[in-house]
Structure 1
Amino acid sequence: MSRLGFYFDMERCIGCKTCQVACKDKNNLDIGILFRKVTSFETGVYPKPGTYHFSGTCNHCADSKCLKGCPTGALYYADDQTVQHDKNKCIGCRYCVWNCPYGVPQFIEESGTISKCDSCKDLRDKGENPACVDACIMRCLEFGDLDELAKKHNTSVLVQDLPILPSSSVTDPSLLIKPRNCALIPNFREKEM
């Protein structure tokens, strides 16, 4: 088995945020805390404007900067190579928050520790999909073996790099994206919602 990760079809995404809400609900997150976040962007100007949405979460990177920054071993690679968090080892130092170029780990005030997407490991261990995948009404998200996902979705059109993201060479994310053409344009603006 190769690495596990997410596939995101940007061409299908309508920015409804159902994946974001399902994740928030499944993880019982407080206001202001998101493990999956949908962000909308604009490119170009009239007569060729563009808009696209990006649904981002932990990329379970092969060269995980959050894991390398954790002094207690609270962040670790599970047997399936996803990046997991042991809340009992976490001291809330936030080194992982500062080290992750994607801004994924979230500090939870109530517990004084961080938390993050675990790709719904509890559901996956029961043979189910992550909550965000099943919630997506447009079927934009999938989770699984990256090699199989690449074959299924035509490797030639998939990317890991977008102007809105840090370079994939920094962390080697476990993420495959089918981009909209306008998402490849380097001049973009985040849409205010």
Structure 2
Amino acid sequence: MMKFVEIKPVSHQQLGFFIDSSLCSGCKACQVACKDKNDLEVGRRFRRVYELHGGGFIDNGQGGYLNNVYAYNLSISCNHCDDPACVKHCPTTAMHKREGDGIVMVNTDKCIGCGYCSWACPYGAPQMNTQAGQMSKCDFCVDLQAKGEQPVCVATCPLGAIKYGPIAALRAQYGSLSDVQGLPGSTITHPNLVVKAHSGAEVGSK
């Protein structure tokens, strides 16, 4: 008797970033390299390095104080989310999520520069290209990846604080934390991002 085997479609390999905030020194080499590679004018940045700090001194009720002061750096770009707000709010479908690798990109043949995607994105990823009158954003350096090279931010970081790859593999190796102080809650767009928080940093949804 002939046995039929169900052939399942190959699942796509959603790409994502891993940011080791415990290693990031805030040098901004990734930010500068991204601006240089994409020829971005002053004010437009696809990758941004933030300095986050907070906490204070707490009275322990016994005449002493405990401190939970923290300060760390966090490098953030587009997170190529599973549920990207930019895509949902684009009226022309110019902002779209690619099949295969899940990279969120802008189709400049369709973009009318309305800015809805920028207003909707909690991470501020889409940014106006004023010269072209259209939106622009991190495209995961698809041109470099096509040549077998790393995204420029990954290749440039002197401390190896930025890694990329299939998000499932990154989560298997580094965990699934993507909620840290300074970032919007991950339930909004389900970002393909894993963060290793700096020692002493508060962790949790903003």
Which residue matches 1:38? Answer: 49
Alpha carbons 2:108, 2:134 under 8 Å: kept: yes
Which residue matches 1:50? Answer: 70
* Secondary structure in structure 1 of the residue aligned to 2:72: strand
Larger radius of gyration: 2
Residue type of the alignment partner of 2:164 = F
Which residue matches 1:19? Answer: 30
Residue type of the alignment partner of 2:74 = F
Per the TM alignment, residue 152 of structure 1 is displaced from its structure 2 partner at its CA by 2.6
Instruction: Give TM-score, length-normalised by structure 2.
Output: 0.84
Alpha carbons 1:39, 1:55 under 8 Å: kept: yes
Alpha carbons 1:43, 1:182 under 8 Å: kept: no
Per the TM alignment, residue 48 of structure 1 is displaced from its structure 2 partner at its CA by 5.0
Structure-1 separation of matches of 2:203 and 2:79: 22
| Moved segments of 4+, more than 4 Å | none
Higher relative contact order, structure no. (Cα contacts within 8 Å, ≥ 6 residues apart): 1
Which residue matches 2:102? Answer: 81
Structure 2 portions without partners, runs of 5+: 1-11, 58-66
Structure 1 portions without partners, runs of 5+: 189-193
List per-residue Cα deviations over 1:29-74 (Å, max 9, x = no partner).
0001000000102223466532100100000000000011111111
Which residue matches 1:191? Answer: none
Alpha carbons 2:53, 2:69 under 8 Å: kept: yes
Alpha carbons 1:22, 1:131 under 8 Å: kept: yes
Matched, 1:171 2:192: no
Which residue matches 1:63? Answer: 83
| Equivalent runs, 1:146-165 vs 2, <5 Å | 146-153=167-174, 155=175, 158-165=176-183
- Kindly indicate which of the two structures has a greater share of residues assigned to helix: 1
**Percent of aligned pairs with the same amino acid:** 42
Structure-2 separation of matches of 1:91 and 1:184: 40
| Paired residues, number | 184
